[in-house]
Chain A
Amino acid sequence: MNRDPSHDAMRAIAMAASLWLVACSDSVAPTVPGPGGGEIRCAHFDAQRQPFFGDLHVHTKYSLDANTQGTVIGPHEAYRFAQGERLGIQPYDEAGNALRSTQLSRPLDFAAVTDHAELFGETEICTNPELEGYNSPECQFYRALPAQSFILFNFLGPGLFGLPTLDGGETIPRMPFCGLGGERCLEAAKTPWRDVQQAAAAYNDTGSDCRFTSFVGYEYTAAPLSNNLHRNVIFSSEKVPELPVSYVDQPEPELLWQALSEQCRTDQGCDYLTIPHNSNLSGGLMFQTTDRNGADYTEAFALARQQNEPLAEIYQHKGQSECLGTTGAGLADEQCGFELLPYRNFTGSQVSPEASGAPLEQDFLRAALKEGLRQEQLTGANPFKYGFIGSSDTHLGTPGLTSEGDYPGHGGAGGSARGELPPGLTDRIENSPGGLAVLWAEQNTRGSLFSAMRRREAYATSGTRPVVRFFGGWDLPANQCAGRFVATGYARGVPMGSDLPAAPAAGARPRFAVSALRDAGAAGEPVQALQRIQIVKGWVTPDGEKLEKVYEVAGGDTGASVDLASCTTTGAGHSSLCTVWEDPDFDAAQSAFYYARVLENPGCRWSTRQCLAAGIDCSNPDAVPEDYADCCNADYPKTIQERAWTSPIWYRAP
């Protein structure tokens, strides 16, 4: 049958408008013929891949904890902001005019709005007077005391462990106003979910310029007893489940994966991955080695986990999850002190650090990667095979706003800015503007970027934009940096996120080639030159001992310094660094992983810039206003050394 494609497309949009945009069965957007799974070939296509910078963790008004803080920016505005438009942000005056505005100094290449699925319904119900529940005590409490209700919702909603039910399944009680079984909230959740999808469809550039890619996504907000098991769910296309699978429906990550695999089937054009974040706040739970029934991991379970989550957020607004710098192995690595939160779960920020307890080494990715090697020894498969990305976790609907300069706060899990701009620092002293996700992809389209996520050809930055390539192999040439670095890397090795092939001969040692360019910068955004490249190795001995070591491979102390009285920097740095490094301690009997960490010269931290602008003088404590007391808090650094973490390359002992 010969049909007019434009008629089909219009009909599809009509269906989207009249039914739900969603549905795995309906084709909504027609695909444009071209290479690579029906996608267009972009003008900038590069078979050897290029770096795309994005943010895969963005909250808008549909997240209750954003809404309580006066965020009224929705997904449409968030995507326009990501593409460089100026955006008015909270607080708002009585006439609804934004009192602040902000803009990216350079647009992002991609983004995903990831609102909390669990609270879609609750937020909508409380703010929409048409909904039953609007006048419930919970909602009245929420509207009267929005800041406190964050705790209430989190402790009564996603904060509870699943209560066993008679049939052996588990359910999480929703807020009472959701009605019996929570149907009321499920229904209300439909509207935000539809808006999220429509915004993603409206701003995903399908032209050959391929300026911007959006992904449909949401956050699965599991936080039993305030221990963070959050994951962002990212879909590869516009084909997504009718409703986001939430913690309330599926109270264990493995149940989430199971439900997603049933409701998002690849044979129907739906594909997804889940990206855990803030393992640093998981209270020992994120990288447990037992399943929900307390049984040890099996090979099948490990493979399922690996398949479902190839990436983890190593850094964002609420601290790094790379390594713990206060106890254990991380003590030997001074860079583990970077943006380290001093508590182990949300109780630390919502109640007090003492009530939470100190962070746990097992909650950090380096420890998890080592445990993954150990699990591989035990079961035959590695459950913790994570590549790295960063993201912002903004609760202002401002993707990519990760510069230390002019930081308006992300308003996440805390500071409210409703009605008036609160005095003092714009965020808790321990928080930060967060990071970015970088994907090495042929072109800036959903298909190409999603494939990069799947194969972990990704790296994280702490918010700046250094460019880093990392290859591993058995016969990478020692002079690779002087030639066609990338072509050689692909031809004779494997890129970040991959497995080394088997050793070609006894006695062979793997080589790792790493090349970095400094952030090219942009007007009005403070960026520094490169300082050094390190390679972090973790490995496990045949008898199960877990070890790690940091190697200095390029650059070094540049002598650059920061004048804290003005935040100006002096001294040299590197505009690029490149080296080929061979592991001198390689033992073919020990499984290992290697990742590169690229450090920039230090610059002023966001808080230091704000304290300086406010004229705070810590030598005269009596004159320091209470709202600025943390300017003089010696527990937190005045400078920040921005950085990039590449996804690891793994070696598996035979």
Chain B
Amino acid sequence: MRSLLRQPLLHFVLLGGLLYAGVQRWEAAQPGRIAIDVATVESLRAQWRRDTGRWPEAAELQASLQRQIDEELLLQEALRLGLDGKDAVARRQLLANLRFALGREEAATTADEDAALLAEARRLELPARDLVVRRRLVQLMEDRLLAAQLPREAELQAYVAARPARYARAARYRFEQRYFSADRRSPTALATAVQAAQAQLAADPAAPVGEAFLFDDPAGSLSQDEIARRYGPEMADAVARAAPGTWTGPVASPYGQHLLRVTAVEPAQAADYAQVRTQAAYAWLAEHAPQRLRAALAPLRARYRVELAPELLAQGLRA
């Protein structure tokens, strides 16, 4: 234990940890500042009108202001993390802007020059002004926050369990059928043929009665939905009601009459979580992204000072 405490590596790690904690504290004590002026809110109002053809209600304006503040906050966080220089797309766009502005050829810039150009871009507030870079940085930050906001396993299990129509396994049936076409017979002749076949099946359940049918005996086990789409709703009902093992019917379909014998029933079951987990996670993400993002933004907000112009506060707008 003693020798362990003398290890320089441990000292290094401890010192590093202390430094890191200090920096964190210092950073937390140096909140960024986000100032919202009257012009910003006016442009939000104008955008709303362009999109909807009317001016926003107070609550709507407050919501779009909140989005504007969040975006500003995400942007500042992205810049704090240096993503404008690290993300390839943002970097390329900023360099292209400056090279274009300064009239330089792409090949003419070295790594050092690139670094200088990026510093210049920051000085000119290009990451915030170039809307492609701005949007890219905001999106990158959103993605980072959302990555830490994935559903917990129990949460996702509850999500799957609450949506049986989408994820649970339906009851399934295996069955055989004997078909009698209504096309080429009178109703009486059809009834006679079916009755004769029933008598034969009663004597020999494997009797080869009936006519060829394109959907003869399904190879797999089918749900009621699948049976209804293939043979019509009457067959789906009849299969679900039939006592397994014996021939029943006749049942009408759009094609004629069928006798049927259910050979196996698999009752409905809860979702197989392992099978649908990934699929459900994507659905969950799509549904929860906005609310999760808001939750992830809350601690960030505490670290920023948002200042609204006095006129805006007088209008009842809040940060």
* Minimum C-beta distance from A471 to chain B (A): 12
- Which residue from A28, A208, A515 sits with its C-beta under 8 Å from B275? A208
A467 touches B215 (CB 8 A): yes
Is A331 part of the contact surface with B, judged by Cβ < 8 Å? no
Contacts of B131 in A (CB 8 A): 130-133
Residue in B closest to A7 when the chains form the complex, CB atoms: B153
Q: Which B241-273 residues sit within 8 Å CB-CB of chain A?
A: 253-256, 266, 271-272
A621–B177 CA distance with the chains assembled, in angstroms: 56
B282 touches A201 (CB 8 A): yes
B278 touches A206 (CB 8 A): yes
A133–B135 CA distance with the chains assembled, in angstroms: 13
B183 touches A467 (CB 8 A): no
Q: How many residues of B contact A (CB 8 A)?
A: 69
A183 touches B169 (CB 8 A): no
Is B170 part of the contact surface with A, judged by Cβ < 8 Å? yes
Is A637 part of the contact surface with B, judged by Cβ < 8 Å? no
- Which residue from A206, A209, A485 sits with its C-beta under 8 Å from B214? A485
Is B310 part of the contact surface with A, judged by Cβ < 8 Å? no
A601–B124 CA distance with the chains assembled, in angstroms: 71
- Which residue from B130, B135, B147, B266 sits with its C-beta under 8 Å from A17? B147
Stretch at the interface among A45-53, A358-366, A387-395: A45-53
- Which residue from A211, A485, A516 sits with its C-beta under 8 Å from B212? A485
Contacts of B135 in A (CB 8 A): 130-131, 187-188
A206 touches B279 (CB 8 A): yes
Is B96 part of the contact surface with A, judged by Cβ < 8 Å? yes
* Minimum C-beta distance from B38 to chain A (A): 18
Is A477 part of the contact surface with B, judged by Cβ < 8 Å? no
B222 touches A467 (CB 8 A): no
Interface of B is mostly: helix
A521 touches B229 (CB 8 A): no
Contacts of B215 in A (CB 8 A): 467, 517
Q: Which A442-465 residues sit within 8 Å CB-CB of chain B?
A: 443
B89 touches A187 (CB 8 A): yes
* Minimum C-beta distance from B32 to chain A (A): 20
* Minimum C-beta distance from A177 to chain B (A): 11
A199–B10 CA distance with the chains assembled, in angstroms: 48
Residue in A closest to B211 when the chains form the complex, CB atoms: A482
A32–B143 CA distance with the chains assembled, in angstroms: 27
A204 touches B279 (CB 8 A): yes
A29 touches B214 (CB 8 A): no
Return the CB mask of A186-204 against B: 1 if under 8 Å, else 0: 0110010000001101111
A467–B144 CA distance with the chains assembled, in angstroms: 49
Contacts of A19 in B (CB 8 A): 143
- Which residue from B229, B253, B255 sits with its C-beta under 8 Å from A106? B229
Contacts of A13 in B (CB 8 A): 150, 278, 281-282, 285
Is B107 part of the contact surface with A, judged by Cβ < 8 Å? no
Return the CB mask of B168-204 against A: 1 if under 8 Å, else 0: 0110100000000111000000000000000000000
A208 touches B146 (CB 8 A): no
* Minimum C-beta distance from A424 to chain B (A): 23
B283 touches A467 (CB 8 A): no
* Minimum C-beta distance from B148 to chain A (A): 8
Residue in A closest to B271 when the chains form the complex, CB atoms: A207
B230 touches A520 (CB 8 A): yes
Contacts of A44 in B (CB 8 A): 218, 220-223, 226
Residue in A closest to B46 when the chains form the complex, CB atoms: A129
B132 touches A132 (CB 8 A): yes
A46 touches B220 (CB 8 A): yes
B272 touches A207 (CB 8 A): yes
Residue in B closest to A40 when the chains form the complex, CB atoms: B275
A6 touches B256 (CB 8 A): no
A517 touches B153 (CB 8 A): no
Is A180 part of the contact surface with B, judged by Cβ < 8 Å? yes
A483 touches B212 (CB 8 A): yes
Contacts of B226 in A (CB 8 A): 44
A517 touches B214 (CB 8 A): yes
Known: A130-B135, A187-B132, A191-B139. A42 touches B282 (CB 8 A): no
Contacts of B221 in A (CB 8 A): 43-44
B279 touches A32 (CB 8 A): no
A207 touches B276 (CB 8 A): yes
Is A562 part of the contact surface with B, judged by Cβ < 8 Å? no
Contacts of A17 in B (CB 8 A): 143, 146-147, 150, 285
A126–B178 CA distance with the chains assembled, in angstroms: 60
A18 touches B132 (CB 8 A): no
Q: List 29 A-B contacts (CB under 8 A).
A: A10-B281, A13-B282, A16-B282, A19-B143, A29-B278, A42-B220, A43-B172, A43-B223, A44-B221, A44-B222, A76-B286, A94-B52, A94-B54, A106-B229, A129-B51, A130-B131, A179-B132, A191-B139, A201-B282, A202-B282, A203-B279, A207-B169, A208-B169, A481-B212, A519-B254, A520-B229, A520-B230, A523-B233, A576-B181
Known contacts A18-B146, A183-B132, A187-B135, then 17 further A-B pairs from the complex at CB < 8 Å, ordered by chain A residue? A6-B153, A10-B153, A14-B150, A15-B147, A17-B150, A17-B285, A43-B169, A43-B266, A44-B226, A129-B47, A129-B51, A191-B139, A202-B283, A207-B169, A467-B214, A520-B255, A575-B256
Q: Which residues of A contact B (CB under 8 A)?
A: 6, 9-10, 12-19, 28-30, 32, 40, 42-48, 76, 94, 106-107, 127, 129-133, 143, 179-180, 183-184, 187-188, 191, 198-199, 201-209, 211, 419, 443, 467, 469, 481-486, 515-521, 523, 574-576, 578
For the complex of A and B, 4 pairs with smallest distance between CB atoms: A18-B147, A132-B131, A202-B282, A202-B283
